[in-house]
Amino acid sequence: MKNTNYIMIASLIISVFAGTAAQAAESVKKDPMQIVRGAKSWAQSCGSCHNIRPPKDLTDEEWEVSALHMRVRANIPGNVIRDIIAFLQASNNEKVKE
Amino acid sequence: MYGKLKKKILYAPLFTSMLLMSGGAAQSQETAVDFKNKIIELEQRISGLESLKQELQELKKNLLQKEEKVLAKEETLVSEIKSIKSLRKSLSVRESKPRGKWHLAGYADVGFEAISGDNNDSFVAGKFNPMFHFQYEDWLLFEGELQIVTNEAGETTIDVEFSQLDFMLHDNITLVVGKYLSPIGQFQERLHPSWINRSMNAPTGFGHGGVQPANEVGVMLRGGVTLTDEVTFRYSLSAGNGPRFGHDDDELELEGIGADNDSSKALGGRLALVHKSSLELGFSYLDSGVNSKAGLLPDGDMALARKGDYRLWGADMAYTKGSWDIRAEYLNAKNSPSGGTVAGGFEEVNWEAWYAQMAYRLSGMLDNPALGKLEPVIRYGEFRTNVGDELQLSAEKRWNIGINYWLSSSIVVKTGIERRNYILVNRADETRYKVQMAYGF
């Protein structure tokens, strides 16, 4: 019974926060300094555990997923990880950016 | 009326010319008949022309009607093409921004090991750890990792290192549910993959079979908060099933267990501060009740009821500026009988492990691109286990000295010597010579 209560509370928290998190991500506006901040954070955050991986190692989509994994594993704030993704996607020369 | 007049006008010159050509009154009856016939013939031709004219008018009318229909159809087609273009555009936008994304990552290593004494030299199959990441929009990530190893007996084992759902609740809060790597310390969660680990194995007392749990089954809140321009705070707070007693008193099963045998949850985690100078300081803590009922063990041995309190604390540091990679970590764990030795049913067990490690990439001081890929590394660590006051055989001091050669940022060839000094005199020391190649993908 006690465990059931925990699960219900956890489910409620997930539902409330998941919606707001998705909206927050959508509302991020273009920021010309984002790539500059991302380059600094990429060197510092990624290099704190392993060699920094070159942007060309992965595609735009792969970087999004991989960076989200690193956000969780290394406890990197969400706004910092978005900066890093912006830098990596702008630098991987996967295609001519529109 | 107009038609008749038109006929007369047409016939008059024709008739006149025929009369002139034919001559006067002496013309024969035969000639008159000829004229009459020709007139009839002409009238028939005129009639034919009239009907042709009517047919042409009919055709013109039909053509106009068909042209109107074609124009109408053309308009319909243009409209349909526009709607198809719009649909295609919307579909192609969905394709470039799918809700679900995935990425296959992981690492693998192979190696060779020569051990002093009577041990045989061996090629080591190493590990193959595929890692799966599935992301839904920006708020949910599933991640799982398998560890596939061919052991000394030739058997292949597959273990789930972690299998977890991550909910991005907020920029600074992530909820993790499932089986996850223990957040205690820095080595087990972040440094153990062979392409990240600067040395060829875990420091003594760390990793699988070490002081701390390798993984845990439960829930965890974690994240990072930027405190100032220079300092970031990082936290991981976990509640899981926790450890349980193993076969012997000094043995605790610390791997993430899929069910709790005593409803006593393990609470703990790690708090850390990261300075922009690349200095990180962390503190870890874990507390759990450990209880087992009396009964027969799977191997037939009889076990008494045991009741204990497991407590672990640890501290770690890292400095990773430029070519430097300097780390140190300390763990201290204790499993004490609840209410004293008699009430708990076993003797207190203490575990202690620490290491200090330094690596330097020569690219920081050499311009030569080939030599710059070299990285000397040195590590020293100690591990002790005491049951009551008695030190156990596993007590060890370990030196690792090696040189790494980085073929790329995630492909490395490591060579090194490992010296194991066992603290108890009745266990012979060992020297191991190792080569390992690791690839993170």
Residues in chain B closer than 8 A to A78 (CB atoms):
168, 170-172
Question: How far apart are the C-alpha atoms of A66 and B97, rounded to whole Å?
Answer: 16
Q: Which of residues 248-307 of B touch A (CB under 8 A)?
A: 272, 274, 276, 278, 280
Residue A14 lies in a domain: no
Number of structural domains found in chain A = 1
Q: What is the pLDDT of residue A25?
A: 47
Q: How far is B72 from chain A (nearest CA, A)?
A: 39
Residue A7 lies in a domain: no
Residue B339's φ and ψ, nearest 5 degrees, are 75, 20
Least confident of B36-50, B288-302, B419-433: B288-302
Taking the CB of residue A41, how many other CB atoms lie within 10 A of it?
20
Residue A10 lies in a domain: no
Give me the domain span that covers residue A46: 30-91
Question: How far apart are the C-alpha atoms of B202 and B384, rounded to whole Å?
Answer: 15
pLDDT class of B250 with cuts at 50, 70, 90: low
Q: What is the pLDDT of residue A4?
A: 53
A95 touches chain B (CB under 8 A): no
Positive/negative CA dihedral, B95, B97, B99, B102: positive
Least confident of A54-58, B13-17, B200-204, B341-345: B13-17
- Between B21 and B182, residue with greater pLDDT: B182
Is pLDDT of B248 > 90? no
Count of pairs with CB atoms under 8 A, one residue in A, one in B: 120
Residues in chain A closer than 8 A to B232 (CB atoms):
77
Residues in chain A closer than 8 A to B195 (CB atoms):
50
B318 touches chain A (CB under 8 A): yes
Note the pLDDT tens digit of each residue in B122-149: 998 789 999 999 999 999 999 999 999 9
Residue A64 lies in a domain: yes
Q: In 3D, which of B212, B292, B300, B288 has the Cα closest to residue B249? A: B292
Q: What is the pLDDT of residue B171?
A: 97
Least confident of A20-29, B120-129, B174-183: A20-29
Note the pLDDT tens digit of each residue in B215-231: 999 999 999 999 999 99
What's the mean pLDDT when you consider all of chain B? 89
Q: What is the pLDDT of residue A9?
A: 59
Residue A87 lies in a domain: yes
Note the pLDDT tens digit of each residue in B374-384: 999 999 999 99
Least confident of A25-34, A68-77, B265-274, B395-404: A25-34
Residue A22 lies in a domain: no
Least confident of A21-35, B92-106, B407-421: A21-35
Residue A60 lies in a domain: yes
Q: Which whole number is the average pLDDT over B159-172?
A: 97
Q: Do B105 and A66 touch (CB under 8 A)?
A: yes
Residue B7's φ and ψ, nearest 5 degrees, are -65, -45
Q: In 3D, which of B243, B250, B184, B249 has the Cα closest to residue B385? A: B250
Residue A56 lies in a domain: yes
Q: Which of residues 93-152 of B touch A (CB under 8 A)?
A: 101-103, 105, 133-135, 137-141, 143
Q: In 3D, which of B355, B312, B302 has the Cα closest to residue B335? A: B312
- Alpha carbon of A23 to those of A34, B8, B97, B118, B338: distances in Å? 19, 92, 16, 64, 49
- Between A60 and B247, residue with greater pLDDT: A60
